[in-house]
Amino acid sequence: METIVHTAQTGTAGRETDPHAVPPAIRVTMATGLALLAGVLCSFGQAVPGFGQLANSAGPWFVVAALLVLLAGLHRRPVLPMVLGVVFLELMHVGYWAATNLRGYPDVLSVTNFWVLIGIPAGLLAGAVVWAVRSTSAWWRAAAAGVTGAVLVGEGVRALLQVAATTGTTFWTIEIVVGAAVVVAGVYSARTATARVVALGTGVLGALGVLAVYLLLG
């Protein structure tokens, strides 16, 4: 007797698809809920000793937004993940705003809020990073590592220069080390000399750019 086991289904385009794969709509819904939850946790995290800087710094928010875009799984073209990056980052702001007010600390969320406005280019960049990570191009993958590390290093250096006197230096030093490690990992994992230059160049120049923006905005 012949037994046939179906491990995959063939889609309309002739590609084999995993019947156990999570549908895109569900993945986006999960990422949406997690974005709100991340904002809520950041609000509560600010009151936890040792976690205040982590919850209140832009670098980790950028990384979380990128991870949520990656979870959503819609990154075959750059436009959609970039839009999702903005959506998820702004939903994190909504979660933070709601939790902060429920905790009894008045907080205002508006389209003119500084962090809401910054969330637009930051979200676009986070989505672009995810698309680049999933790209088949070694150059784009290297650039993704460089940009991610640059965001962390740039913010960390700015904090050491401007706010470390009141917040301490521990978290910002760790953020710089993690960012530098991401850049180094991008350089090390690059398969060509050009890709290594791209990873290092975007890391160094990107960090300087992030630092310059912070200093310019005060």
Q: How far, CA to CA in Å, does 168 sit from each of 152, 153, 177, 207?
A: 17, 16, 16, 21
Cα 39 from Cα 68, distance rounded (Å): 13
Q: How confident is the model at residue 7 (pLDDT cuts 50, 70, 90)?
A: very low
- Percentage of the chain surpassing pLDDT 70? 91
Specify the pLDDT at position 19. Answer: 57
- Tell me if the pTM is above 0.85: yes
SS3 state at 7: coil
The structure tokens listed for 56 are: 């209140």
Give the mean model confidence (pLDDT) for residues 70-90.
Answer: 93
- Residue 93: the pLDDT is 95
Spell out where the chain has E strands: 9-10, 16-17
Distance CA 94, CA 122 (A): 16
Predicted local distance difference test score (pLDDT) of residue 82: 97
